Amino acid sequence: MTQPPTSDSFATRAIRAGQYQDLSDSHSEGLALTASYVFDDAEDAAEKFAGRRPGNVYVRFSNPTVAAFEQRMAALEQAEAAVAVASGMAAYLGVALGLLKAGDHVVLADGMFGTTTRFFQTYLKKFQVSSSIVDVRDVGEWRRQVRPNTAMFVLETPTNPLMHVADLRALSALAAEHGILTVVDNTLCTPALQNPLTLGADLVIHSAAKYIDGQGRCGGGVVVGREELVQEIGGVLRTAGPGLSPFNAWTFLKSLETLEIRMREHSRNGQILAEWLERHPAVEQVFFTGLKSHPQRELIDSQQSGPGGLVSFTIRGDQEAAWRVADHLSLISLTTNIGDTKSMITHPASTTHGRLSPEAKERSGITGNMLRLSVGLEHVDDIIADLDKALDNVTISAE
Ligand SMILES: *Cc1c(COP(=O)(O)O)cnc(C)c1O
């Protein structure tokens, strides 16, 4: 496989890095649907099996289409290497099995994707990996949680739905000082808006089902970072088995070609919508990393090149009023996913955060009157009109 020249341009790398071409003369990257590969001769088989010679052996170990997706992701995150997996959670599984051991301690950010928190606190606990949860914004709290056996910092920035931002430079530096690995879930920003590795993080995780796919079709995940760490994780994953399907890899490979322009438009629509919501009389508070009023404005500008498309807001009303807003939308879909071309809304307190106790919800700020929007790529006027109609309905019935 010939590698195209590297480029400083995100757009060029998103389209050209990690090209895979089969033996036909097709221009678009091929989909290699094969479970096994033919060897040149017996010696070739022996060398490849032993890992002494590069090449494909079997689908659980490698696939040319999956490899092309991995190379493209590594190029976009400015990483040495990447390993693709069946889901975002399988990426966490690989990181944990590859890099943690019994007796280790992990510091987790508050407000992470719920399943991530559950994975560490419920399942890894069974294997004697302990964890503490801290406010993602408070570097001092991270520092106070460092113990002699702390092996990893795991965080998301921004968090969702509250849009709390982690100081990636400060946390990565603190971790490095203590020989701790920093793992950043970059699903929300994607490499088009934020590159945690260039700010000091050791590994980046993505759920590819969100903005990387961008059209809500396929599940997948990826871990990117230094060659030696990715090798360790890849080894475990090839043995344990949660690899990425070649078809899904092929879909993501195509989607990455438009990632930058999609994220630009998600950000633009999100910005217009968030500013509109801030002015709406039925809206109490808006959570969006593009707003001038965001309390971490300076930090955001120093590490994100755009806000992305997630906008949360609270309404002047209770949970029932929030549900009425959700129930009176006709364009925006009611679904808990994020990152599609289609706009989607969810009521976090009764769905994604429904397991939290009422006190925990109140403490964490996930209140009953909150809604979270994943702003899509429909015309922003249509998205606003849909919300306007729904919000009016609530105001009238609340009066
Ligand atoms: C969806 C999501 C995950 C989990 O990914 P799956 O592909 O659903 O396994 C992890 N982190 C974030 C931020 C997510 O949005």
Spatial contact of 157 and 135, defined as CB atoms under 8 Å apart: no
Give the model confidence (pLDDT) of 20-54 as tens digits.
766 567 888 889 898 889 899 999 999 998 889 99
SS3 for 50? Answer: coil
Note the pLDDT tens digit of each residue in 172-225.
Answer: 999 999 999 999 999 999 999 999 999 999 999 999 999 999 999 999 999 999
H helical segments located in 79-133: 88-99, 114-118
The pick from 187, 204, 206, 245 for probing ligand 1's pocket by mutation, whose C-beta has the most ligand atoms within 8 angstroms, reads: 187
Whether 213 and 142 map to the same domain: the answer is: yes
Contacts of 5 (CB under 8 A, 6+ apart): none
Over residues 245-276, the pLDDT tens digits come to 999 999 999 999 999 999 999 999 999 999 99
What is the per-residue pLDDT across 299-313, written as a single tens digit (0 to 9) for each?
A: 999 999 999 999 999
Quick check: is 37 in a domain?
A: no
Pick from 113, 203, 353 the residue to mutate for probing ligand 1's pocket: most ligand atoms within 8 Å of its CB. 113
Give 348 Cα–ligand 1 centroid separation in angstroms: 15
81 is a domain residue = yes
Residue 2 belongs to a domain: no
14 occurs within a structural domain: yes
* CATH of residue 267: 3.90.1150.10
- Cβ of 91 closer than 6 Å to ligand 1, yes or no, is no
240 and 271 inside one domain:
no
In a domain, 113, yes or no: yes
Task: Estimate to the nearest angstrom the gap between the alpha carbon of 120 and the chain centroid.
Answer: 17
* Per-residue burial over 85-110, b = 16 or more CB atoms within 10 Å of its CB, e = otherwise: bbbbbbbbbbbbbbbbeeebbbbbbb
Report the percent of the chain where pLDDT is more than 90.
83
Q: What is the Å distance from ligand 1's center to 176 Cα?
A: 26
Q: Please check whether residue 110 lies inside any domain of the structure.
A: yes
Would you say the CB of residue 207 lies under 6 angstroms from ligand 1? yes
Structural domain includes residue 349: yes
Same domain, 133 and 148: yes
Residues 6 or more apart whose CB falls under 8 angstroms from that of 261 comprise none
pTM, full prediction: 0.94
* 299 shares its domain with 389: yes
Same domain, 236 and 310: no
Residue 244 maps to which CATH number?
A: 3.40.640.10
Q: Are residues 225 and 280 in the same domain?
A: no
Q: How far is the CA of 22 from the centre of ligand 1 (A)?
A: 31
| Secondary structure of residue 236 in the 3-state scheme | helix
Let me know whether 300 and 229 are in one domain.
no
* Domain end marker among 225, 256, 287: 256
C-alpha 351 – ligand 1 centre gap (Å): 15
Distance of CA 233 to the CA centre of its chain: 18
pLDDT at 399: 46
Angle 321-323-326 (CA atoms, 0-180°, nearest 5)?
Answer: 115
**Same structural domain, 376 and 326:** yes
The single-letter code of the amino acid at 394 is V
In a domain, 55, yes or no: no
The CB of 185 under 6 Å from ligand 1? The reply is yes
**374 C-beta closer than 6 A to ligand 1:** no
- Distance from C-alpha of 399 to C-alpha of 397, rounded to nearest angstrom: 5
| pLDDT value at residue 397 | 47
Q: Is the CB of 119 under 6 A from ligand 1?
A: no
Q: Are 195 and 298 members of one domain?
A: no
Omega within 30 of 0 (cis) for the link into 158 = yes
Give me the count of residues in the chain: 399
CA of 275 to the centre of ligand 1 (A): 27
Q: Which domain holds residue 392?
A: 260-398
Q: Which of 256, 279, 295 is the last residue of a domain?
A: 256
Q: What is the pLDDT of residues 352-397, one digit of tens each?
A: 888 777 877 777 789 999 999 999 999 999 999 999 999 987 764 4
Q: Which atom of ligand 1 is nearest to the CA of 115?
A: 4
Q: Are residues 232 and 272 in the same domain?
A: no
Q: What residues contact 380, with CB distance under 8 A and at least 6 apart? A: 268, 269, 272, 273
**Among candidate residues 256, 286, 319, the one where a domain is terminated:** 256
Nearest CA to ligand 1 atom 1: 207
